[in-house]
Amino acid sequence: MEEMIGVIGLNYKSAPVEVRGKVSFTEEQIRQFIQYLYKTESVAGVVVLSTCNRVEIYFHIQNRSTQESYESMFQQLFEFKQLEASVRKHLYSFEGIDAVKHLFEVAAGLDSIVLGEDQIIGQVKNAFLISETAHCAGNVLTRLFNRSFNAGKKVRTETKINEGSASISSAAVTLAKQQYNDIEKHSVLLIGAGQTGRLSILSLVEKGCEHLYIINRTFAKAEEMAREFNATAVPFSHIKKYMVKCDIVMVATGSVTPLIDEAMINEIMPQRDFQPLTILDLSVPRNVTKEVGFIEKVTLFDVDDTEVVIHETFQKRKAEIIKAEEIISTLADEYMEWVASLSLSPTIRQIKENFRKIHDIEFKNYQKSNADVDLTIMEEYGAHISDKFSGLIIKNLKELTDNGKKTDHLKLVNELFELISENGK
């Protein structure tokens, strides 16, 4: 049986937005899912990362083979999300150092639609925080995610991977500007006051947009963002009214069901005198039904449409990828060294305990027949010799097993000291 670190998931490269929407998690669903998994005997840690571009489950599993671990994770995911079997072809998996490198690349923005984007590091931190708060991360994944934050920072500091960095939000604004060259003269309605919404309105302000309206289910959040960007907060119930008023609508919410459908748009278009309407849906799952895009005078973009805009950014930065990958490779090797050393801990502890046990037994036997000898000195000397021999064996053990990486050698040593322990009784 094995102990492993692994990840299963899908992203914008392996699955279209419709599939990602089916697999995506709300924060409450993440809490339910990780607590359910953590109750199983073999799961020592689990973190779920769910964004508009990826859903990934990182896990540390003990006392199961690699194949069993993966199959268990796939099964739990499919049952929890009630997924069709066809979704499986969109999923990928990594284990060991490949899983570690993948997470480091994600945190550094190397695996994002926008190369080097900064938003992902906050999303990774939030995913870890959910598991840590629920006491479901475990020490191995805790160290892994903390190292991923370091990797993300180091890559961004020592390379130019995010120079002139864009985001999906800014790419979406670029798409809107392609529809309206004079975008600053048009009214914009933002639905959603989260991080993606904030980045969206920031990009709009940078383009010179002044007629900005913000809608959020929690009106106070809309007001807070409106104050920051000199925009106008609008009650959630006024969506239709302001879709009539605005030429550009950006949607970025965590709703699991669509907020805008064909019937709604067919209702408001006559009120707009059928003037062109551009809708940018940056939500996963979709917040705007696909049918909306077929309505005359309506242009609908989703998160996958931003990829075309982002391609130019990638071309400018791809020379920095090699530097970033070298940094990540070094950090991943260091982390795996630590993981491997964990397997030595039980053996090292057993070696020390066995030497101490043999010392104690032999000293008691010696004490019975040598009552006239200074036993304090003898005991100290015996303990010193035991520590010396155990230290020498531990040093050789680390070299023999390559600091715990060669598990076959480690198994042999464990068996040897089990025999020593038995014979020492």
φ, ψ (nearest 5 deg) of residue 173: -65, -35
**Contact call for residues 38 and 130 (beta carbons, < 8 A):** no
Residues 121 and 107: beta-carbon distance below 8 Å: yes
Name the region of 377 (left: φ>0; alpha: ψ -120 to 50; beta: rest).
alpha
Q: Please, are residues 173 and 208 in contact by the beta-carbon 8 Å criterion?
A: no
Burial letters 288-299, b for 16+ CB under 10 A, else e: bbeebbebeebb
Whether 115 contacts 313, CB under 8 Å? yes
How far is residue 68's CA from residue 263's CA, in Å, rounded to a whole number? 47
CB within 8 Å of 400: residues ≥ 6 apart: 406, 409, 413
Residues in the chain: 425
Residue 380: burial class (beta carbons within 10 Å; 0-12, 13-18, 19+): exposed
CB atoms within 10 A of CB 104: 28
Contact, 95 vs 66, CB < 8 A? yes
Whole-angstrom distance, CA of residue 202 vs CA of residue 206 = 6
Considering the candidates 52, 136, 209, 246, report the single residue annotated as catalytic. 52
52 among known catalytic residues: yes
Other CB atoms within 10 A of residue 91 CB: 23
Kind and range of the H or E run holding 64: strand 54-64
Which residues contact residue 169 at a Cβ distance below 8 angstroms, ignoring those fewer than 6 apart? 196, 197, 199, 200, 202, 203, 252, 282
Closest to 244 (Cα-Cα) out of 284, 274, 215: 274
CA dist 150 and 216 (Å) reads 34
Q: How far is CA 5 from CA 33, 39, 46, 239, 404, in A?
A: 18, 18, 10, 46, 15
Q: Which positions are annotated as active-site residues?
A: 52
